[in-house]
């Protein structure tokens, strides 16, 4: 292999007293800390730069996008070349964490590189059996494409590699159509296996890189304990939770999602798993509306919405939407029902999420316990220096006493609730405008 290096073409000098976050090894350098950026004449966004203190001391090295709010994604705090050997060491340490998953006979899809979580900010690599689906979220990772691609081919020998171009998390580069970087990627959905269950995944049209790999362990948890029960899967996508539940013996599965194509694949996945059609009801509807209007009751409920808060500015309306979703769900639960509820909004912290769930329970008079806190599997590590990487959080709840539906609640509390419903209308419209991909 020919050796490739990303030359240092920028030098970013920090304002006096603004070195702290770099010294604490946070991987993002914000423009507010920057005094000046010097660039070689041939420098382009995505090139590597050195971060130096106000008096010129070397602090760190990263990829640079001079006009971005995050001016640099830091890769190393040592004066070392950003070359093939550097990327090889990072990719190998990422593969090492997934060794068990990569050799499993029951699961052949997992995340291989999780951006900042694996010390490769801006690069996400998912394995779907013999294919890789990649997201490049920064100009730096686009610039480094030949290096990481060569290493992935060498180590994982995929039949094909697709780079998804539509990710809304890309701040530095415009959306592009997906492109095949290597080999062949079938245009029809490919077959993967997760915990022994087959699924079809659309690598071109699917959301995220095609499948919500981060929910693998939580799907298994749901599937392990739902024999003979009625399950409601809100925001069900291509049927992940539904199929685990039915495989685990659930009597009846109602899945709600607003996307027709997602449900089409859900139906195919259901069949692929040899499950009887009579046990599945697919409802193509707004899930917020469904819980509000349905009067069906369930023993297990899954609440896995897309990120309702994409920014700090939308946090308030998102929190109202989360609260609304929960308070109505608590009214659709039978006594002893268990609820698996998730938020994948980076701006909603675990504490805040718990408060919203508490507030919703309080408003409809539901009594609840929580059994576990939930998060993604081991292939989605969060770096200790980058707490913002913790986006998926969840609670496994048990309903001791269901909520009383607001309309059947006499007098007190009703005004409070109708206020929330007005607010919720706004949140619902926001939800409709949301970009498709979430994590």
What are the residues binding ligand SAH (CB under 6 A)? Answer: 212, 215, 235-238, 240-241, 256-259, 262, 286-288, 304, 306, 431
> Which residue's entry shows tokens 């693998």?
216
At its nearest, how many Å lie between ligand SAH and the CB of residue 430?
10
Cα–Cα distance measured from residue 96 to residue 23, given in angstroms and rounded to the nearest whole number = 27
C-alpha to C-alpha distances, 415 to 148, 407, 424, nearest whole angstrom: 57, 11, 14
Q: Minimum distance between the CB of residue 237 and ligand SAH, rounded to whole angstroms?
A: 3
Residues 185/160, Cβ–Cβ less than 8 Å: yes
At residue 96, φ and ψ (nearest 5 deg) are -55, -40
Shortest distance, position 81 Cβ to ligand SAH, whole Å: 40
Q: Which is nearer to ligand SAH, 104 or 259 (CB)?
A: 259
Instruction: Give the closest residue to 184 by CA, choosing from 211, 167, 165, 203.
Output: 203
The DSSP code sequence of 167-192 is -TT-SSS-----EEEEE---SSPEEE
Q: Quick one: 53 or 258, whose CB is closer to ligand SAH? A: 258
Compute the distance between CA of residue 184 and CA of residue 160 in angstroms, rounded to an integer. Answer: 5
CA distances for 181 relative to 90, 162, 175, angstroms: 21, 6, 16
Dig out the tokens for 413 from the structure.
């509390």
Element (H, E) at 400: strand 393-401
Give me the least distance between CB of 168 and ligand SAH, in Å please.
Answer: 13
Residue 72 vs 258, nearer CB to ligand SAH: 258
- Neighbour-count burial of 293, counting CB atoms closer than 10 A to its CB (0-12 exposed, 13-18 middle, 19+ buried): exposed
Which CB atom, from 75 or from 308, has the smaller least distance to ligand SAH? 308
DSSP E strand stretches across 142-297? 160-164, 179-183, 190-194, 197-201, 230-234, 252-257, 280-284
Work out how close the CB of 211 gets to ligand SAH at its nearest, in angstroms, rounded to a whole number: 7
DSSP label at 310? S
Does residue 226 have an active-site annotation?
no
Cβ of residue 396: shortest distance to ligand SAH, in angstroms? 15
Q: Which of 110, 226, 331, 344 is catalytic?
A: 344
Q: E-strand spans in 19-88?
A: 28-30, 34-39, 48-52, 58-64, 70-76, 82-83
CA angle 111, 255, 307 (to 5 degrees): 50
Closer by beta carbon to ligand SAH, 386 or else 396: 396
What is the C-alpha separation between 134 and 162, in angstroms, rounded?
6
Residue placing its CB nearer to ligand SAH in the complex, 72 or 345: 345
CB 288 to ligand SAH: min, Å: 6
Which residue in this structure is represented by tokens 């640079």? 64
Q: 21 or 108: whose CB is closer to ligand SAH?
A: 108
Beta carbon nearer to ligand SAH, 95 or 287: 287
Cα gap 270→238, rounded to integer Å: 9
Nearest distance from C-beta of residue 258 to ligand SAH, angstroms: 4
Would you give the DSSP letter of residue 349? -
The span from the CA of 36 to the CA of 24, in Å, is 21
Active site amino acids? 344
């Amino acid at each position: 292999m020919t050796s490739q290096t990303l030359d240092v073409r920028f030098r970013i000098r920090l304002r006096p007293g603004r070195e702290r976050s770099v010294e604490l090894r946070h991987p993002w350098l914000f423009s507010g800390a920057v005094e000046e950026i010097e660039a070689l004449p041939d420098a382009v966004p995505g090139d590597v730069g050195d971060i130096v203190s106000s008096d010129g001391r070397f602090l760190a090295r990263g990829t640079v996008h001079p006009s971005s709010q995050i001016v640099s994604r830091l890769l190393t705090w040592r004066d070392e070349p950003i070359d093939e050997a550097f990327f090889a060491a990072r990719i190998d340490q990422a593969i090492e964490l997934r060794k068990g998953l990569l050799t499993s006979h029951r699961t052949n899809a997992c995340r291989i590189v999780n951006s900042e979580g694996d010390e490769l900010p801006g690069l996400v690599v998912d394995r779907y059996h013999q294919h890789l689906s990649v997201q490049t979220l920064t100009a730096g990772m686009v610039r480094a494409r030949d290096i990481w691609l060569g290493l992935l081919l060498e180590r994982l020998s995929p039949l094909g590699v697709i780079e998804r171009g539509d990710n809304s998390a890309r701040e530095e580069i415009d959306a592009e159509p997906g492109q095949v970087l290597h080999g062949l990627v079938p245009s029809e959905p490919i077959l993967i296996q997760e915990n022994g269950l087959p699924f079809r995944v659309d690598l071109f049209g699917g959301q995220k890189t095609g499948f919500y790999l981060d929910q693998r362990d939580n799907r298994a948890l749901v599937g392990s304990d739902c024999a003979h029960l009625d399950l409601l899967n809100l925001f069900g996508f291509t049927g992940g939770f539904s199929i685990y539940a039915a495989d685990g013996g659930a009597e009846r599965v109602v899945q709600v999602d607003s996307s027709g194509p997602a449900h089409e694949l859900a139906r195919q996945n259901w069949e692929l798993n040899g499950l009887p059609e009579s046990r599945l009801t697919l409802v193509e509807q707004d899930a917020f509306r469904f819980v509000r209007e349905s009067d069906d009751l369930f023993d297990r409920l899954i609440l896995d919405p897309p990120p309702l808060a994409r920014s700090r500015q939308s946090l308030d309306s998102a929190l109202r939407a989360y609260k609304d979703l929960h308070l109505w769900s608590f009214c659709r639960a039978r006594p002893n029902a268990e609820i698996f509820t998730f938020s994948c909004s980076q701006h909603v912290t675990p504490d805040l999420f718990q408060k919203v769930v508490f507030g919703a329970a309080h408003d409809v008079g539901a009594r609840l316990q929580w059994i576990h806190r939930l998060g993604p599997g081991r292939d989605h590590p969060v770096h200790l220096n980058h707490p913002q990487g913790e986006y998926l959080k969840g609670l496994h709840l048990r309903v001791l006493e269901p909520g009383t539906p607001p309309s059947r609640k006499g007098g007190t509390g009703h005004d409070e609730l109708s206020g929330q419903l007005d607010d919720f209308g706004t949140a619902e419209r926001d939800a409709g405008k949301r970009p498709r991909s979430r994590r």
